[in-house]
A = this chain, B = another copy of it.
Amino acid sequence: MNIRVDWRASVSLTGTICKYLALALFVPLAVAVVYQRDILVFVVTIVITVTIGLLLEQVDPDPELRPREAMLLVALSWFAVAILGAIPYLLATVGTDSSLAHPVNALFESMSGFTTTGATVMDEISTDRYSHALLLWRQMTQWLGGMGIIVLMIAILPKLAVNGAQLIQIESPGPEFQRLTPRIAETARILWAVYFGFTLALAALLYGLNLAGLAPNMTAYNALAHSFTTLPTGGFSPESNSIAAFSGAVQWVLIPFMVVAGTNFALFWYLLRGEPRRFLENTEFRAYAGVIVVFTGVVGGMLYSGAAPALGELGGTTEGSGESALRHGLFQIVSLLNSTGFATSDFAAWDSTAQFMLLTAMFVGGSAGSTGGGIKIIRWLVIWKVARRELVTAAHPEAVKPIRLGGYVIDEDVTRGVLGFTLLYLLVFVAATVFIVLDSARVGTSLTVLEAISASIATIGNIGPGFGTLGPFGSYLEFPTTSKLVMIFLMWIGRLEIIPVLVLFTGAFWKR
């Protein structure tokens, strides 16, 4: 095989990204110092990360990125970051009976973090068993992955800004990337600033609820930890009962921030610049809001009439209570629709009709340019318009009209790309589901169809929890190692929207 891709350049820049990842590790290190636990874990991880980064950089002292090298860099750096992010889990649990002491589990947890999936293989989530620092690192991986490792690096590294637009396009969710300002590094900084601002605001609000006496267990630590995983649609929580551990006030505050997380962040920039109409008239945002309202109406109505009979303590009583039914319905729909995966109630114990509605919501996804995963609203809009056009064309073959969205004409190449992507996504989803089902049968456990489907969509869609044993208060621990490896792959390709990763496995990428 005649390799024509300058992989050395991609590896070298992956090294640079790893090196700068070490900066982020100082946050959990500080927490480790405060709580006097796992200090050495993070010191060693920082040393390893910087060393590996520097070594990889030596592979090519003067890297130059062409299109394919850029694609390889994005795929590679996400994988490298996930591997390095797993080191603290391994170091903190070495020699113990913790599930994280197994390398595949540690990698699963790390990939689940950076890709903002939020699926867990931890045997127990508590600050008794794991340090505050380690659990905060787990939260922080989601925050780093949410707006994008590459976007972050472009914001701070002039070296990467040269090919910035291309790199962001490869990493960013949604069919098209919107440039906010002519300079790409500036666009990256704006996106991260908006993201940072919302995170701070949420942390302040959550801690404010505590000070106001409305959320006794929302400590400063918890406020920070949950802000770190709300804006990236991450869903990890250092509480084993997720958001069910907190008061209704906390749940109400989180809802608008989850809605924000699933919205195109560029729209907030327009809002800041005093162009609210561009926000409110945005077709995708309006569709997103409409879908939330419709789904919440249906699921809220079900909860009101008793769809959650087995809730007990977790999730409270919704039957006959308007506030409770609306809160849990809205929270769960927003959370699963945009791929956050937070839970206020054990929805895996809801009745099968309500579960089915949640499963359907999982296939929607967030907006383009948001931190949400999945297929995404904009693609569904394009598909809807293409389907309608197919019907009109059947009646009037002579009148083939272009697809319009929010006043703009969508190029036929983009349309074809959207259809191709969606079908590729569904094909990978089905193939993965089949694999997971057969793999579980191989080791002698049998999954229900709902568990199997949800395991697959929850990982490739970067959602996190599913149904049955992988419900919001359950875990992925019991899956065979082979299935976990496939799921690690699914989370990785899901976050990068499949193509930049899958293309590496074609001969055509490396040759010619």
Which residues of A are in contact with B by a Cβ distance under 8 Å? Answer: 67-68, 71, 298, 302, 351-353, 355-357, 359-360, 363, 383-384, 386-392, 394-397, 415-417, 419-424, 426-427, 430, 433-434, 437-438, 440-441, 446-450, 452-453, 499-500, 502-503, 506, 508-509, 512
Q: How near does chain B come to A177, taking the closest CB pair, in angstroms?
A: 15
What chain B residues lie within 8 Å of A448 (beta carbons)? 352, 449-450
CA gap between A446 and B350 in the complex, in Å: 12
CA gap between A241 and B325 in the complex, in Å: 46
Name the residue of chain B whose CB is nearest to the CB of A302: B441
B352 to A447, Cβ gap below 8 A?
yes
Q: Is the interface of A mostly helix, strand, loop or mixed?
A: helix
B360 to A430, Cβ gap below 8 A?
yes
Q: How near does chain B come to A265, taking the closest CB pair, in angstroms?
A: 24
Q: How near does chain B come to A510, taking the closest CB pair, in angstroms?
A: 8
B438 to A395, Cβ gap below 8 A?
no
State whether A508 and B449 are in contact (beta carbons under 8 Å apart), knowing that A416-B419, A421-B390, A437-B353 are contacts in the complex: no
CA gap between A360 and B430 in the complex, in Å: 8
Name the residue of chain B whose CB is nearest to the CB of A412: B416
Name the residue of chain B whose CB is nearest to the CB of A467: B449
Q: How near does chain B come to A183, taking the closest CB pair, in angstroms?
A: 24
Name the residue of chain B whose CB is nearest to the CB of A504: B395
State whether A395 and B503 are in contact (beta carbons under 8 Å apart), knowing that A419-B416, A420-B390 are contacts in the complex: yes
A394 to B71, Cβ gap below 8 A?
yes
Q: How near does chain B come to A302, taking the closest CB pair, in angstroms?
A: 7
Can you list 23 pairs linking A and B with CB atoms under 8 Å apart? A298-B438, A351-B441, A351-B446, A352-B446, A352-B447, A353-B437, A386-B419, A386-B420, A386-B423, A390-B421, A390-B424, A390-B499, A391-B503, A391-B506, A392-B506, A394-B503, A395-B506, A395-B508, A416-B416, A419-B419, A426-B426, A449-B449, A449-B450
CA gap between A434 and B422 in the complex, in Å: 20
A452 to B394, Cβ gap below 8 A?
no
A453 to B446, Cβ gap below 8 A?
no
From B383, B452, B508, A392 is in contact (CB under 8 Å) with B508
CA gap between A71 and B426 in the complex, in Å: 31
From B298, B363, B417, B423, A422 is in contact (CB under 8 Å) with B423
Q: How near does chain B come to A171, taking the closest CB pair, in angstroms?
A: 14
What chain B residues lie within 8 Å of A449 (beta carbons)? 352, 355-356, 359, 448-450, 453
Q: How near does chain B come to A399, taking the closest CB pair, in angstroms?
A: 8
What chain B residues lie within 8 Å of A419 (beta carbons)? 386, 416, 419-420, 423
CA gap between A363 and B395 in the complex, in Å: 27
A508 to B420, Cβ gap below 8 A?
no
Q: How near does chain B come to A69, taking the closest CB pair, in angstroms?
A: 11
Name the residue of chain B whose CB is nearest to the CB of A453: B449
B423 to A502, Cβ gap below 8 A?
no
A508 to B396, Cβ gap below 8 A?
yes
B387 to A68, Cβ gap below 8 A?
no
